[in-house]
Structure formats: C-alpha cells, structure tokens
C-alpha cells in the first residue's frame, strides 16, 4: 500500500485524528435506538411486560416494543405478519442431550418442526408467535437454555471450538471460562446497553476453528511459562465493512479473562463516539481509530496494572472437525456430522438427543452449521453412524455438505434479496455431480445480503445476493462473487471481483473458476490460485469470455 494511502474499508492506511467525543445530548438527538434504550429499560421487558404484550394482537404492539424483543432473540420472520425467528444461545455450541431434546420438542410444538444451525453456534427456530412466547421461554429455562442477548445491542452468543474438553490437541480445557463468561454477560443489565452487538470467542483449539480473526474480542488459548491462559485479538468483524482482528499483544491468565473482557467492553461502551451513528458503532471502528496499542493502554488503566506481553499464536491449519477421531479420553471418539445448509427438523433433534443420552455423550454445534457427537465408545462407532444415517444424516457424504454454508435468507429473512439455502442446495448438487471428490474441502459461502451472516468475505468463493439491473431468465436475482478470502493461516478479506452474476448463470461461473484451478493445480489452494491470477483473468474465467466485463457479470 502506498504511503499515506488510506484503505478504510479493509482496515489499512493511516488513522485519522479523533475529534471531540459527542455529548449524550447529541447522541440522543441523532440515534433513535439510544433514545429507545433510555426511555424503556430493556432488561425489565421479560419480568414486567412480556405477559401483557403476548396477550395483545400483533398489530396493536408499538414498533418500539417489537424492536425491544430483539434483545431476547426475536426477529420478524418474512413477511411481517406476526411470526418470529427465535435465536437460542449455545455457548461454544455445547448441548447436553436434555437441552437438545428441549429444542427439538419446542420446534415440533411451536415452530412447525423446523430448525436451523447458525454460524455462531446458535439454534434458530421460526414461525414463533408472541402468545406462545412466555411458555416457550419457560421451557427453554427449564432446559438450561436462554435467548437473552440473542439479538440487540448486547453480548451475542460466545463461540468457541466445539470440542472443548475432548479435543486431543487442545492447549487446555477452557469450558469453565466459557461458562463463567456466559453466566456473567448473558442478560447482565450492565451489558444490555452496548453501542451495538458484541461478539466474543474463547477457544484453546490450535486450529483456531472458532475464527478469532473475525470476532470483536478473541481469547486464544496458550500455555505460557507453564500457566494456562490466553492471547487476545480485537476488532475483527465482517458485515459491510470487513476487518481482520488485530493482536492486542497480551497474555491473560484464565483467572483474569473475565476481568479483561469486561474492561474492554467498559472502554468501548463508555466512549460516546461509538453511540452517535449505528453505522460506526462496532468495536472494530474503535480499534481503527485508536489502534490496539492505545486500547491496551486504556484497558491497563482501567485495570490499574500492566498486562504481560505475548504475541498471539497463528493457527496450525483450519479444520471443521468432521470425521471420526479419538478424544483425549482414551477409548472414546467424536463424530462430525454434516448438516447441509444447517437445516434440521425437530424430530431429528429429539432422535439425536435420545441416541447421545444412551452413552452419556453430548452434542456440539460448529460454526459451519454442522454438529459433532462426543463421548462415543469405540465399540459403538459403527452402530452410532448407522443410526445417524437412519435419522437422515450422511456421515460419509461429499465434503461440500459440511463446508458449504448459507444464511437464513429466503423465505424467512427480511434483509435477503435472493434465495440462499435453496440456492446453495442447488449449487451443492451441481458441484458434486460436476467435480466429485476433486473439490476436497472447498469452502463455498452464500449470503442473501451484505450483513455476511454466512461469512461470504472469507470463503474460497463467497456469494452475496444482489439485484441485476435487467431481468435474466425471468428474474433479477443475482450474486456478487468474492475471491481471495480465507481464515486460519490464509486469513484475509476477500474482494468482490465478479459483479451481478444472474442467478441462472452462477453454476457456470463457479465451474469456470473451479475448472481452471483444478486443471492448473500446482499443490496450491483455491485462494492461492485466485491470488496468482489477475483480476481480469478471474473475471474472464467466471464469465467464459475474454474482453470487457460489464457490471452485470456478463460480457459487454
């Protein structure tokens, strides 16, 4: 990057001098959500108002109260006719069988038997109506589950490696730290009024499968001078303004972890610069403005002591934990279960819960919308795999079934402008038939809008829904193609190189890129192939044409 060049979109360049912090009066004048949070405290909604709200007709409920329900994991389903998506938080994806059974039964009773696994290790139900919400929340509480902070300006689900406590190569078991953090932050009134959502991840997996590079605050497990603790990265995130997290350069013992996490949030939430505009309210913008060195100084000032210095370790190579592997507990195994596009039904959840309870195992949700069964005795491996197949889960299916992820999108999400899960299912069938096992662990990420819930910035190929300027084959649905992104050792923000590819032409565009990669393969990943090629070469491969490429992703 040339000297003095500022690339604010991807986080490079010089930092601009900070102006004076706005007053709270200015914040409340400019930001309607901050006014709402001042006028109606969010943490009292369930105890004081939910029963009354649930008795009213949906159309009679003020819009500001519908907005407040987000803090308890509720979003409008599409169309807005009185049904909702309900997001259940699962810290680090760890689900005992009794909790999984609770979710399955709620799905069957209240959610038309539908459920989906998310990229933040949540479970999302749909078709939920407000009159049933109080009894649903009571059932979730009885099952050891919560939706508090599932959405809204609070700490979202704390993610982690799904194999905490059983992974043979983990630095140490950080499950107690995850549980302590979830207990402290989830539903805590002090952190129910953040500038925007806050995403933590805590893991000791050497593969860094929890993707610390794209989280607001990441705790990366290490053993330092014989002590268990964490290095830290801050300021990651995707959406419309992607950032790779930056090294805070510290070592924090496991006993200090919650205190330091809290100090970071206190520093961010007390700075009114990040409350004036919702667009600039995420922690990554504070890291842009101050830099990690200055933020470390601010955190140390809050703590009243210096933190030890330690660079964050690199990933040893990304993995999705699919397959059958022995745990650190000898004689017991974990089985990775692909869930194509993350869709399951209530019956399957109950069946899996019943199976796992037979051998005192549990279920772990992954960030790739799959799950892992742990605690399987060696003598029962074949039986468990066979029974999972009977439930509808193909353990030995094509790797794309596990590595391809798609957001909620159509038909449920009000932000999506294109098909997502149905489109991905179509693409999976096409790619599996066309390329077979040659694809290996190729990662395809598809989002229906710029919010990047399915991480299109960091897939081998990312697809983001958009609208074509002209109708092609009866529709204006189209996708931008993002290339050169990655996580783990290849972490990088992708670039939107091929624009507005009509939905009917997406399979051809993928074939052009994948075919050239496989034909020219020189022991390189797809991302390395995309880096080796020029922008114009990649565009030509995607469109099948040489020469000028139009903004519609077709030859000019």
Q: What is the pLDDT of residue 170?
A: 98
> Distance (Å, rounded) from C-alpha 297 to C-alpha 392?
53
Name 72's Cβ contacts closer than 8 Å, sequence gap at least 6: 45, 46, 137, 147, 148, 150, 151, 152
Has residue 113 been placed in a domain? Answer: no
Has residue 10 been placed in a domain? Answer: no
Name 166's Cβ contacts closer than 8 Å, sequence gap at least 6: 327, 328, 329, 332, 334, 374, 375
Beta bridge partners of 200: 217
The Cα-based distances of 73 to 67, 87, 157, 278, 416 in angstroms read: 11, 5, 10, 19, 19
Has residue 464 been placed in a domain? Answer: yes
> Distance (Å, rounded) from C-alpha 204 to C-alpha 121?
17
Exposed / middle / buried, residue 267 (Cβ in 10 Å: 0-12, 13-18, 19+): middle
The tokens describing 15, both together, are 């930092």
DSSP result, 401-413: HHH-EE-S-TTT-
Helix (H) or strand (E) holding 115: strand 114-117
Residue with tokens 């197949």: 389
Give the alpha-carbon dihedral of 434, 435, 441, 446, to 10 degrees: -30
Beta bridge partners of 203: 220
Domain encompassing residue 469: 403-543
Q: Vertex 399, ends 396 and 402: CA angle to 5°?
A: 95
Which CATH number goes with the domain that contains 510? 3.30.413.10
Has residue 462 been placed in a domain? Answer: yes
Has residue 452 been placed in a domain? Answer: yes
> Distance (Å, rounded) from C-alpha 393 to C-alpha 213?
31
Q: What is the pLDDT of residue 163?
A: 98
From first CA to last CA, the distance across the chain in angstroms is: 31
Q: What is the pLDDT of residue 17?
A: 83
> Distance (Å, rounded) from C-alpha 193 to C-alpha 158?
17
Helix (H) or strand (E) holding 535: helix 535-543
| pLDDT tens for the 556 residues of the chain, in order | 333 343 444 555 567 788 899 999 999 999 999 999 998 877 777 677 888 888 888 888 888 888 999 999 999 998 888 899 999 999 999 999 999 999 999 999 999 999 999 999 999 999 999 999 999 999 999 999 999 999 999 999 999 999 999 999 999 999 999 999 999 999 899 999 999 999 999 999 999 999 999 999 999 999 999 999 999 999 999 999 999 999 999 999 999 999 999 999 999 999 999 999 999 999 999 999 999 999 999 999 999 999 999 999 999 999 999 999 999 999 999 999 999 999 999 999 999 999 999 999 999 999 999 999 999 999 999 999 999 999 999 999 999 999 999 999 988 999 999 999 999 999 999 999 999 999 988 999 999 999 999 999 999 999 999 999 889 888 999 999 999 999 998 889 999 999 999 999 999 999 999 999 999 877 899 999 999 999 999 999 999 875 544 445 544 4
Has residue 460 been placed in a domain? Answer: yes
Helix (H) or strand (E) holding 94: strand 94-95
Has residue 434 been placed in a domain? Answer: yes
The tokens describing 237, both together, are 């995130």
Q: What is the pLDDT of residue 14?
A: 65
Residue with tokens 């549980």: 179
Exposed / middle / buried, residue 23 (Cβ in 10 Å: 0-12, 13-18, 19+): exposed
The tokens describing 300, both together, are 């140390």
Give the torsion sign (CA, 539, 541, 542, 543): positive
Q: What is the pLDDT of residue 12?
A: 59
Q: Indicate the number of domains in the chain.
A: 1
Has residue 441 been placed in a domain? Answer: yes
Q: What is the pLDDT of residue 546?
A: 59
């Amino acid at each position: 990057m040339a000297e003095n060049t500022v690339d604010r979109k991807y986080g490079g360049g010089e930092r601009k001098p900070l102006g004076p912090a706005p007053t709270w009066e200015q914040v409340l004048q400019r930001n309607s959500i901050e006014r709402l949070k001042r006028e109606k405290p969010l943490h009292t909604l369930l105890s004081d108002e939910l029963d009354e709200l649930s008795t009213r007709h949906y159309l009679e409920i003020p819009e500001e109260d519908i907005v407040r329900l987000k803090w308890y994991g509720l979003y409008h389903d599409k169309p807005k006719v009185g049904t909702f998506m309900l997001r259940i938080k699962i810290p680090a994806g760890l689900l005992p069988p009794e909790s999984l059974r609770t979710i399955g039964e709620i799905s069957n009773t209240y959610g038309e038997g539908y459920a989906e696994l998310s990229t933040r290790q949540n479970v999302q139900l749909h078709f939920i109506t407000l009159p049933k919400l109080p009894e649903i929340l009571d059932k979730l509480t009885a099952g050891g589950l919560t939706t508090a902070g599932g959405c809204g300006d609070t700490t979202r689900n704390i993610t982690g490696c799904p194999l905490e406590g059983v992974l043979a190569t983990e630095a140490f078991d950080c499950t107690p730290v995850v549980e302590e953090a979830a207990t402290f932050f989830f539903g805590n009134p002090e952190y129910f009024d953040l500038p925007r959502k806050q995403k933590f991840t805590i893991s000791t997996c050497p593969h860094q499968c929890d993707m610390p590079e794209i989280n607001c605050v990441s705790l990366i497990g290490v053993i330092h001078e014989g002590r268990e603790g964490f290095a830290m990265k801050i300021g990651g995130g995707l959406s419309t303004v992607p950032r790779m997290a930056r090294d805070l350069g510290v070592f924090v013992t496991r006993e200090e972890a919650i205190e330091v996490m809290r100090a970071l949030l206190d520093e961010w939430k007390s700075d009114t610069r990040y409350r004036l505009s919702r667009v600039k309210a995420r922690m990554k913008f504070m890291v842009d403005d101050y830099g990690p060195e200055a933020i470390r100084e601010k955190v140390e000032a809050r703590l009243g002591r210096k933190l030890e210095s330690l660079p964050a370790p690199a990933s040893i190579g990304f993995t999705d934990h699919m397959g059958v592997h022995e745990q650190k507990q000898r004689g017991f195994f974990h089985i990775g279960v692909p869930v194509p596009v993350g869709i399951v039904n209530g019956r399957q959840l109950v069946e899996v819960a019943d199976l796992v309870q037979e051998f005192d195992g549990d279920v772990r949700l992954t960030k790739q919308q799959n799950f892992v069964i742990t605690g399987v005795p060696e003598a029962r491996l074949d039986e468990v795999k066979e029974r999972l197949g009977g439930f509808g889960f193909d353990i030995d299916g094509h790797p794309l079934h596990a590595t391809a992820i798609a957001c909620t999108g159509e038909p449920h999400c009000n932000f999506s402008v294109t098909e997502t899960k149905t489109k991905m299912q179509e693409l999976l069938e096409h790619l599996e038939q066309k390329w077979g096992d040659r694809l290996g662990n190729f990662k395809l990420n598809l989002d229906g809008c710029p919010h990047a819930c399915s991480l299109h910035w960091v897939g081998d190929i990312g697809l983001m829904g958009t609208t074509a300027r002209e109708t092609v084959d009866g529709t204006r649905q189209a996708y931008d193609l993002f290339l050169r992104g990655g996580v783990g050792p290849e972490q990088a923000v992708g670039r939107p190189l091929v624009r507005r590819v009509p939905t009917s032409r997406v399979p051809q565009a993928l074939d052009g890129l994948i075919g050239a990669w496989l034909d020219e393969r020189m022991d390189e990943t797809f991302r390395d192939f995309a880096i080796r090629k020029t922008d114009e070469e990649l565009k030509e491969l995607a469109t099948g044409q040489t020469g000028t490429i139009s903004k519609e992703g077709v030859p000019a």
